Structure 1
Amino acid sequence: MLGAFLSLILLTVGGILYLKLGLAEVRADAPPSRLEASLMRMAVHSSVRRHAPEVANPISPTDDNLIAGGKIYLNECSGCHGAPGAGNKDDSALNPPAPRMAEIGTEYSEAQIFWVAKHGVRRTGMFANGVWETDQKLWTVAAYLYRIKNLPPHVAEEITKAAKSGS
């Protein structure tokens, strides 16, 4: 029992010293270590799941609403998260890199997507859009993002066409 307690104290003091001595890399142009990336991913996903209330999206996922959400995404989110059909872009100056939603989609629920868009994620570059955007607009984007990998073909075509035309 004493050994476990001493080990816990040693780990805590070691962790504090690691941080206090400036050994943790904080530059945005240097990728995080695997351990840091793994711990942060776990912390973010766990926090979002705990704090985002599971409420129904008041925006119906009609084709028109999905297209509207896709256009909002193109105009306001794709600079960091990527546009459909645009492929990879150099985001080496952003660490951790923003999730490439157009390529990988998301495992979050619509309510969780809305919560992240509204409140942001600390120390990631994902700002709190709820400060200046309406809930309706954020829910519209959430409806689109939740279905981004499973959109009706004509909706996906409309968004890809808008992405290529820059509108």
Structure 2
Amino acid sequence: MKILKAALLLLVLAGIGGGIFIYSGSYEIGADVPHAQPVYEVLETLRDRAVEKHAADIRVPPLDDPGRIAEGAEHYAAMCTGCHLAPGMDDSEIRPGLYPQPPELATQKDENPAEQFWVIKHGIKFTAMPAWGATHDDQAIWNMVSFLQKLPSLTPQQYAQMTANAGNEHEEHEHQHHHQE
């Protein structure tokens, strides 16, 4: 009984201490100051496990359709390269200010398509990854996943060829999408 009381007291004191720390505002929250390593590792594990769990039951459709890949390339070029770059792209104006740094998707091989779908659809809190499911239907998101599966194998020239008209076509799709609502 004595150990239980001591454990309970320790838990209450830790809660009070945590509350004081949180309300003090002393934790460095700016994106230009990295998290302490233990905090970073906890957040990274939380993110990875949550995405894995939430994506576990997602059924992946066939992803090798050329039309699906082409539309995904169009979306990627219009919406993703500022943060995730493209083959042959070294940096962007926004990327250096992002923390944590978004993954360079052109170098991410063998990624789980169900997890990619979930992340694109729902986004990731505190990472600047938006929830594209708010503005794009599942079909468009699967098209992006189809392209992401192909992206790591593309040369800069192949990428440029696939996305040559992406900006114009993306604007046209968005215009049509808004008029259908």
Partner residue of 2:41 out of 38, 41, 50: 38
More divergent stretch after superposition (60-69 vs 39-48): 60-69
SS at match of 2:97: coil
From the superposition, tell whether residues 107 and 17 of structure 1 become closer, same or farther in structure 2 (CA, over 3 Å).
farther
Aligned pairs, number: 162
- How many angstroms apart in 2 are the aligned matches of 1:145 and 1:60? 10
Is 1:92 the counterpart of 2:96 in the alignment? yes
More divergent stretch after superposition (75-84 vs 62-71): 62-71
Counterpart amino acid of residue 112 in structure 1: E
CA RMSD of aligned residues (A): 2.7
* Counterpart residue number, 2:72: 69
| Cα-to-partner distance string for 1:126-166 (whole Å, 9 max, x where unaligned) | 111111112111001112224433x3x68x75214456x68
1:118 is displaced (CA, Å) by 0.9
* Counterpart residue number, 2:178: none
Pairing of 1:7-22 with structure 2 (within 5 A): 7-22=10-25
* Counterpart residue number, 1:26: 29
| Cα-to-partner distance string for 1:99-145 (whole Å, 9 max, x where unaligned) | 22123x16752112111111111222111111111211100111222
The answer as to whether partners of 2:122 and 2:133 remain within 8 angstroms in 1 is yes
Counterpart amino acid of residue 17 in structure 1: I
From the superposition, tell whether residues 95 and 61 of structure 1 become closer, same or farther in structure 2 (CA, over 3 Å).
same
The answer as to whether partners of 2:121 and 2:132 remain within 8 angstroms in 1 is yes
Counterpart amino acid of residue 55 in structure 1: I
* Counterpart residue number, 2:158: 158
The answer as to whether partners of 1:54 and 1:112 remain within 8 angstroms in 2 is no
Counterpart amino acid of residue 14 in structure 2: L
From the superposition, tell whether residues 57 and 157 of structure 1 become closer, same or farther in structure 2 (CA, over 3 Å).
farther
Could you state the TM-score of these two structures normalised by the residue count of structure 2? 0.73
Could you state the TM-score of these two structures normalised by the residue count of structure 1? 0.78
* Counterpart residue number, 1:135: 138
SS at match of 2:106: helix
* Counterpart residue number, 1:102: 106
User: Where is the helix percentage greater, Structure 1 or Structure 2?
Assistant: 2
Identical residues among aligned pairs (%): 27
The answer as to whether partners of 1:32 and 1:95 remain within 8 angstroms in 2 is no
**Please, which runs of 5 or more residues in structure 1 have no aligned partner?**
none
More divergent stretch after superposition (135-144 vs 61-70): 61-70
More divergent stretch after superposition (117-126 vs 28-37): 28-37
- How many angstroms apart in 1 are the aligned matches of 2:59 and 2:157? 27
